[in-house]
Amino acid sequence: MTLPRNVLWFEVLLYLSLTLDAVSVAFQDRTPTAKMTEQMINTGTLMAAGLILLLVYFVRLAAEHRKNWPRWVLAAALVLSVISLVQMIGEKGLAFDSGIEVISCALTAAGLYCSFTGDAVGWFNA
């Protein structure tokens, strides 16, 4: 069976968002400070990488294996990301890294919108 157009857009947009997140993690400042030791920074980086890989797996489950529940997990992750982004912008203001996160959240929201509309509606309930 061929992949519906909206499901393809969902997959592409979510993978773009996760790629942007991975690039953002790769270029994070890893300078140890009094509050953040090198071990804490490395642990955070590994946890972020693991979460990105888990979300990639959820996108694959939803798009290629027609599972419905990963879309809802991705939607919940988007809500948590937006809350975190609002807090980060409130504390530090709009900076380059928060701008990247805004773009990532927008790509995720657009992808999830595609997954709930158009020819994708019946795809995930099969």
pLDDT tens digit string along 66-119?
999 999 999 999 999 999 999 999 998 888 888 999 999 999 999 999 999 999
Summarised one tens digit per residue, pLDDT across range 22-73 is 999 988 888 999 999 999 999 999 999 999 999 999 999 999 999 999 999 9
pLDDT of residue 11: 97
pLDDT of residue 72: 96
3-state helix, strand, coil in the chain (%, to 5): 75, 0, 25
Domain ranges across the chain: 5-124
pTM flag (> 0.85): yes
The angle at the Cα of 90, spanning 85 to 109, to the nearest 5 degrees, equals: 25
Backbone angles phi, psi at 85, to 5 degrees: -65, -45
Longest CA–CA span in the chain (Å) reads 56
